[in-house]
Amino acid sequence: MIRSATLPLPYSEPLVADHSRLRLFSGSANTPLSLEVSRYLGIDLGPMVRKRFADGEIYIQIQESIRGCDVYLIQPSCYPVNDNLMELLIMIDACRRASARQITAVIPYYGYARADRKTAGRESITAKLVANLITEAGASRILAMDLHSAQIQGYFDIPFDHVYGSPVILDYLMSKQLSDIVVVSPDVGGVARARAFAKKLNDAPLAIIDKRRQAHNVAEVLNVIGDVKGKTAVLVDDMIDTAGTIAEGARLLRREGARQVYACATHAVFSSPAIERLSSGVFEEVIVTNTIPVIPEKQFDQLTVLSVANLLGETIWRIHEDSSVSSMFR
């Protein structure tokens, strides 16, 4: 079962200004999120023809004039990653050739982000490759949420707005009035993210899980740095893919005496066998957002999906009105 929630943002105000130069289009990757964003902004999604040729090639045609307009294209590069990424590139190219004044690629989930540097010889840095593709296709600006690595912003030579799903998750956690919370980073690389999360969660204490990764999607958990005994542990990460790391971390926290374990992540990638691991009983609740659509086959009783549509809509509006985006997170 899935319990969806759309939380109002405390900084939101009714949008009453002129929409005449603002156009919003959706790719096929997450249409429900795009519709929620359009409702928040008070504008309809732009008409577009999307089809495939017999050999799988994607065809896109914008069906209204966007000459001189500021166009926002919402398309996460989630599964199927290659198809959704290619669709985004074709949408950007179509808008550029239609003489749009500015094209903002709104990428709630930025795929290919895990290869953000070379860790061995003869590897590709796919995060940079994708940045090059999006830029060369004609994007004027990028809006992305909770990048796997913040340094990816530097791979672009165009304006980049990086926003966070944590306010939505934090509001939800605070509404539950949990006691004796300790925020836990599932690895050393996520300490900065967990520390910022803990600070906003009433300066909750921080713990770290020390792990060693043996191969891609395979992790060996070693021990916990910090006190979790008798406490409510909140594991915080940017994404849950196969759930190997976060599930092993939860089992370790249980062995170390944690009273309850919650998992929080912005992106619900949920590759197999994530559902079996997450629904195994080690978590009281798994809290994610709808940057990636969670299909019925990937839903389970402990899952809660929170909507980031208001947050994305507010960000789009602020970009369009040349207002501050960072002030939303202060």
CB count within 10 Å of CB 231 equals: 24
Nearest-angstrom CA–CA distance, 258 and 284: 12
Nearest CA among 41, 3, 15 for reference residue 301:
3
Residue 211 annotated in active site = yes
Active-site hit among 128, 211, 231, 298? 211
Nearest-angstrom CA–CA distance, 260 and 234: 8
Over the chain, what HEC string results?
A: CCEEEECCCCCCCCCCCCCCCEEEEECCCCHHHHHHHHHHHCCCCCCEEEEECCCCCEEEEECCCCCCCEEEEECCCCCCHHHHHHHHHHHHHHHHHCCCCEEEEEECCCCCCCCCCCCCCCCCCHHHHHHHHHHHHCCCEEEEECCCCHHHHHHCCCCEEEECCHHHHHHHHHHHCCCCEEEEECCHHHHHHHHHHHHHCCCCCEEEEEEEEEECCEEEEEEEECCCCCCEEEEEEEEECCCHHHHHHHHHHHHCCCCEEEEEEEEECCCCCHHHHHCCCCCCEEEEECCCCCCHHHCCCCEEEEECHHHHHHHHHHHHCCCCCHHHHC
CB–CB of 149/157 below 8 Å? Answer: no
Computed over its alpha carbons, how large is the radius of gyration of the chain? 20
Q: Known catalytic residues?
A: 211
